[in-house]
Amino acid sequence: MAKTIRQTVYFDAPVHDVFEALMDAKRHAAFTGDKAKVDRRVAGSFSVYGGYATGKTTKLEKDKVIVQTWRTTDFAPDAPDSKVMFHFSKKGQRTRLIFIHSNVPDDLAEELDLGWVDFYWEPMKAYFVPKRK
C-alpha cells in the first residue's frame, strides 16, 4: 500500500522566488548543490539531484501550483511513479508552501518524508537568507 506525505513549510521569500527555485534549473542547482534539468512546461521532464529524482510536470500555474510525476533511483523498477504537488500562497511577508507527495512506496516513505526537509526545505530556507558581504 502506498503512503502520502503532507508538509507545510514557510519561506522568508516572495512566492515567485520560491516557485522559481523549484522550476528554474540554475536556481534549483544553486540551492541543492547538484545538477538539475527542468523543462518549464506541462509535459516537460525534469531530472534533479544529478538524476536521483526524475519525472514530468503535469500541471503548472505560475506562482500558484506545480504538479509532477516523481520517482527516485530507489524506486523498484516496477513501482509506479509517485506524484508531488506544490501549492504556493502568500502569508504576510512570507510564502506558505503546502506540499503533498502521494503514491509513495511504503518502504521509502519515512526516508522521503525526512529527505524533503533535509534536502529541499532546509537548503531552500538557507538559499533565501541574504548573503553578507
Q: Which CATH number is 40's domain given?
A: 3.30.530.20
Residue 47's domain comprises: 3-127
Cell of 126: 538557507
pLDDT (tens digit per residue) in 14-72: 999 999 999 999 999 999 999 999 999 999 999 999 999 999 999 999 999 999 999 99
Q: Give the pLDDT of residue 114.
A: 98
The residue with cell 504538479 is 67
Handedness of CA 114, 132, 89, 59 (dihedral sign): negative
Taking residues 81-90, what's their average pLDDT? 98
Domain for residue 54, yes or no? yes
Q: Is residue 132 part of a domain?
A: no
pTM (2 d.p.): 0.95
Q: Which strands make up the sheet holding 3-11, listed edge to edge? A: 3-11, 94-104, 82-91, 65-72, 53-61, 45-48, 37-38
Q: How many domains does the chain have?
A: 1
